[in-house]
Structure 1
Amino acid sequence: MSRLQVVSGKGGTGKTTVAAALALALATEGKRTLLVEVEGRQGIAQLFETEALPYEERKIAVAPGGGEVYALAIDPELALLDYLQMFYKLGSAGRALKKLGAIDFATTIAPGLRDVLLTGKACEAVRRKDRSGRFAYDYVVMDAPPTGRITRFLNVNDEVAGLAKIGPIHNQAQAVMRVLKSPETAVHLVTLLEEMPVQETVDGIAELRSARLPVGRIIVNMTRPEVLDATDLELVRTVPRSTVARSLSSAGLGGARRGGHAERLVDPLLTQAEEYAERYTLEHDQRAVLAELGLPLHELPLFAEGMDLAGLYALARALREQGVS
């Protein structure tokens, strides 16, 4: 497994949930994982049922086997202050710039600067070591921007390195890209078995590959259980209504006579079966499209009653069972 795990996906596919479950799955057997949020939505705090995350690395969960999950919500303004202190030793001068509003102005106006700071902070966590020379975190999982923006987001430091030919900005941008374009990084895409998310996944993978960014896995989220297989569905399409009514009656659901309780159930039941058949065909076709991409493919179940902390641990267990750990 690469040490930097970037999770992207079309909006509504549950990429933040998958990123959180992945962080838990990787933090097994005593490992330490840092879960990084870059969009300022505090989605991680909501999933782990904790208070809003500050701009500091805070332990939010313990994984099976004693591993630990830390979380960090990166604030671009504070990240820029860190950057100014690290490379220019501004100290109190940097804080004065913040009070004057210059930091907010810079991160809002300067093209790509926010993404430079966000990716730079995540890569710093990947490279950081403690006094014994051991990596501070075994894995860093980034809840990244959506698929339509992910390639530009990760590749922004290439553009910066081209603009700043020398100096600390150039060196920092190159150091970040060395991490992002190396085997240390894997970009995973989350999708649903629906046409639009799958097509956006296909396009996103093509863009990532064109930019020479390392594509990892495809994770199909919110899959529903298979109630009927292809053989059952073919039978549903051909079975006479009278046979369905007699079967319902035999099951104790009323008489088969016309107007009886069983007879009234036939049409709604067959309509539901037809709707399921359409969904089954669509999902089967979308699985085939994803399989053609030649990447590891994983599926996570839908929790009909919504996601809570127990569900998050269940998703992490499902990922481990599928070899993602």
Structure 2
Amino acid sequence: MPEPGAADPAGPPAGPLFPGTRLHVVTGKGGTGKTTVATALALALARGGRRVLLCEVEGRQGLARLFGTGPLPYEERRVATTPDGGEVLALAVEPRAALLEYLRLFYRLGGAGRVLDKVGALDFATTVAPGVRDVLLTGKVYEAVRRRHGGRAGARGDGPHVFDAVVLDAPPTGRVGRFLGVTTEVHGLARVGPIAAQAASVAEVLRSPSTRVHLVTLLEEMPVQETLDAVEELTAARLRVGAVVVDQVHADTVPVELLDDALAGRVPAGAVLDGLVRAGVAAPGPAGEAVVEGLLAEAAEHDQRLALQEREHERLAAGEHPLVELPRLPRGVDRAGLDLLADRLVAQGLA
């Protein structure tokens, strides 16, 4: 397995893994770092003076926490810049607000839409009919992807795109197939009419060559299996899978022979203690012996972790989609950590 977070040992990719991609959908099992990876990808794509929109649709305000801001409203707000003039705007897409905007833009129901909201009609439409809810959420992302300069509200315009790329922090893998399969979900609710037409337009963009779905996983059995299952589901739905992003890879910083000896109990504890005493980091006696016991147990656990990583890495590598690896951030996720992850994504061709 290559060094975590590094490019392939054969050398960096000749160019972007997915040239021409404008919509990057990021999904993954809960707890794998999906939102962190989506944010780092947005920062990477913004380099070179580009303008990127980062969207979330789950109502968790995860982007606001990562950037240390207050809750994001239903409007595009700049949350980060890059040294070369790039910028990342963030948007929390909320279904009721999206429906109000839809009614205002396409039916000119500004005041009437607010009346519907007051009597609870919008809550009914966005909770009782989940297919409609997902059409509204993906529809807002669809509009941002297609938006061009020079257009009035609700129209595309004919100038350059407003955003060079859009990154969607999508629902987890267990729900992403249904979320992105808007045409199927709406078919049972409305076979014709504006909602059905909107769903068809959204599906066309989601299945186009300019959209890729990236899956984030950890090198653990359950996340890897869910990732492999999601690849099959997305492919069957004619959605284009991008990269599999392996997050929080533990570095192999200790010689393998020493780890194996620790796992097998072959490391002489007395010799380790003598070395620690000579280095001035432990004292002889019971206290020092307790330190050595803890260190050897941790080394054995680390060896088991690396063996698990190797097995799960082989399962992922057997697939046809490129693997992108990111290191574990020992100091937690802050702007410096996000920039480090962005560096790794650029080096491996994802941005």
For residues 133 and 317 of structure 2, the distance between their equivalents in structure 1, rounded to whole angstroms, comes to: 35
TM-score, L = length of structure 2:
0.85
SS in 1 for 2:130: coil
CA distance in 1, matches of 2:240, 2:168: 14
Q: Please list the CA deviations of residues 271-295 of structure 1 after superposition, one character each: whole Å capped at 9, or x if unmatched.
A: 3322122111111101111111121
Against the structure 1 CA distance between its residues 261 and 70, is the aligned structure 2 distance closer, same or farther, given a 3 Å change threshold? Answer: closer
Tell me whether 1:52 sits opposite 2:78 in the alignment: no
Q: Is the 8 A contact 2:29 2:217 kept in 1?
A: yes
Cross-structure match for 1:209? 235
What does residue 196 of structure 1 align with?
Answer: 222
**Paired residue for 1:286?**
312
Residue pairs, 1:147-166, within 5 angstroms: 147-161=173-187, 163-166=189-192
Between the aligned partners of 2:322 and 2:76, the Cα distance in structure 1 is 31
CA–CA separation in structure 1 for the residues paired with 2:307 and 2:85: 43
Instruction: Give distance in 2, aligned partners of 1:234 and 1:250.
Output: 20
SS of equivalent to 2:88: strand
1:178 partner SS = helix
The residue number in structure 2 matching 1:120 is 139
Q: Out of 86, 90, 98, which is 1:67 matched to? A: 86
Query: How far does residue 10 in structure 1 lie from its aligned partner after superposition?
Result: 0.7
How far apart, CA to CA, are the structure 1 residues paired with 2:264 and 2:187? Answer: 64
1:249 aligns with 2:274: yes
Q: CA deviation at 1:163?
A: 5.0
Shift of 1:261: 7.6
Per-residue Cα deviation, 1:108-148 (whole angstroms, up to 9, x for no partner) = 11131111100111011001110261011010000100010
* CA distance 1:139–1:263, shift in 2 (3 Å): same
In the TM superposition, 1:1-325 aligns within 5 A as 1=19, 2-131=21-150, 133-161=159-187, 163-236=189-262, 240-242=266-268, 245-246=270-271, 248-250=273-275, 252=278, 267-325=293-351
Q: 1:171 to 1:270 in 2, by over 3 A?
A: same
Aligned residue-pair number: 321
Summarize the Cα distance change of 1:263–1:52 in structure 2 as closer, same or farther, 3 Å threshold.
closer
C-alpha separation between the residues in 2 aligned to 1:277 and 1:72?
Answer: 42
Deviation at 1:231, TM superposition (A): 4.0
Deviation (angstroms), 1:264: 6.0
Distance 1:239 1:146 in 2: 41
CA distance in 2, matches of 1:107, 1:232: 58
Return the letter of the residue paired with 1:19.
Answer: A
Distance 1:245 1:136, change over 3 A: same
Give deviations 1:11-44, integer Å, cap 9, x for gaps.
1111111111110000011111000010011110
Structure 2: which 5+ runs fail to align? Answer: 1-18, 151-157
Query: Cα deviations across residues 223-262 of structure 1 (Å, max 9, x unaligned)?
Result: 22212354443454568454x53365256169xxx96887
Match of 2:217, as an amino acid? Answer: T
Judge which range, 206-215 or 96-105, deviates more.
96-105
CA separation of 1:263/1:43 partners in 2, compared to 1, >3 Å: closer, same or farther? closer
How far did 1:66 drift? 0.9
Shift of residue 91 of structure 1? 2.2
Kindly state the Cα deviation for residue 267 of structure 1 after the two structures are TM-superposed: 4.1
Q: CA deviation at 1:269?
A: 3.7
Q: Distance in 2 between matches of 1:17 and 1:268?
A: 32
Aligned partners of 1:299 and 1:32: how far apart in 2?
25
**CA distance change for structure 1 residues 264 and 73 in 2, over 3 Å: closer, same or farther?**
closer
Kept in 2, the 8 Å contact 1:30–1:67? The answer is: yes
Seq. identity, %:
54
Decide which moves more: 297-306 or 183-192. 297-306
| Counterpart residue identity of residue 206, structure 2 | L
Between 154-163 and 118-127, report the one with greater CA deviation: 154-163
CA distance in 1: counterparts of 2:243 and 2:337, whole angstroms: 21
For 1:60 and 1:233, locate their aligned partners in 2 and report how far apart those are by CA, in whole Å: 43
1:70 aligned counterpart, secondary structure:
strand
Query: SS where residue 112 of structure 1 aligns?
Result: helix
Shift of 1:266: 5.1
Residues 63/236 of structure 1: CA separation in 2 closer, same or farther (3 Å cut): same
Which amino acid is the alignment partner of residue 243 of structure 2?
A: R
Q: CA RMSD in A?
A: 2.2
Counterparts of 2:180 and 2:193 in 1: how far apart (Å)? 21
Aligned residue type for 1:101: G
Partner SS for 1:97: helix
Residue aligned with 2:54, SS:
strand
Which stretch has the larger CA shift, 67-76 or 227-236? 227-236
